[in-house]
Amino acid sequence: MPEILATPPFSARIVERLSIGATSRRERVIHSLDGLETPVRPAALAATGDLLWERLHAQLPSADNSVDFLLGLDAGGILPTTALATASQLPYKIAWKLHLPLDGAVRFREPHAMRTDVFAYGIAPGQRIILVDDEITTGQTLADLTRQLREAGAEPLAAACLVEDTTRGARALLAGLGLPLVSLTTIGADR
């Protein structure tokens, strides 16, 4: 499987998952910020956040004035969300796989995960939000989150990710919902 470089030192590739559950994907995108293979230097995290912010800001020039917060997804989305928040100086929140008695709860599903229910809290009508995750494959999770946020009256403006798998139709799915997708790098049909 080829390694795709977006900008030094960021890299990503697909590996086969071992010991997976019945609903889990057979493969996983891993990247140089997840700390799986080598330690991550803070400068690499900062540089990646800066580049992702550049691309997002080019897509949404008014983002620094029109976004209320970034909403990152539990686990993989935490690092790119904090890196993007640092680069953009936008506040962030994280959606967790924790069902808690908190106000403004929005429940959405991550269909390929072992625990599929995810919750964003403190969601209110009129909030303008950028969704952030480390990798996007099918786009189903972000599509469901977008629908649920809109039902709650919030306004998802865009989605940002480190790695986009271009073979699964995520970009088209999200575009059909009016949600632009900004990715740092892509992995395509060369797998």
Question: pLDDT tens-digit profile of 28-77?
Answer: 888 988 999 889 989 999 999 999 999 999 999 988 889 999 999 998 99
- pLDDT reported for residue 19: 82
pLDDT at 21: 73
Domains of the chain (ranges; CATH) run 42-187 (3.40.50.2020)
The better pLDDT of the pair 58, 190 is held by: 58
Q: What is the pLDDT of residue 189?
A: 60
185, 105 in Cβ contact below 8 A? no
Residue 24 has pLDDT above 60, yes or no: yes
| Average pLDDT value for the chain | 90
pLDDT at residue 3, as a whole number: 45
**pLDDT, mean of residues 81-106:** 97
Quickly state the pLDDT bin for 181 (edges 50, 70, 90). Answer: very high
- Which pLDDT belongs to residue 8? 52
Rounded CA separation 130/72 (Å): 8
The length of the chain, given as a count of residues: 191
- pLDDT band for position 9 (cuts 50, 70, 90): low
Local confidence band at 122 (pLDDT 50, 70, 90 cut-offs): very high
- For residues 1 and 68, the model is more confident at 68
Preceding peptide of 9 cis, ω within 30°: yes
CA-to-CA dists, residue 18 to 22, 37, 156, angstroms:
12, 16, 34
Residue 97: how many other CB atoms lie within 10 Å: 15
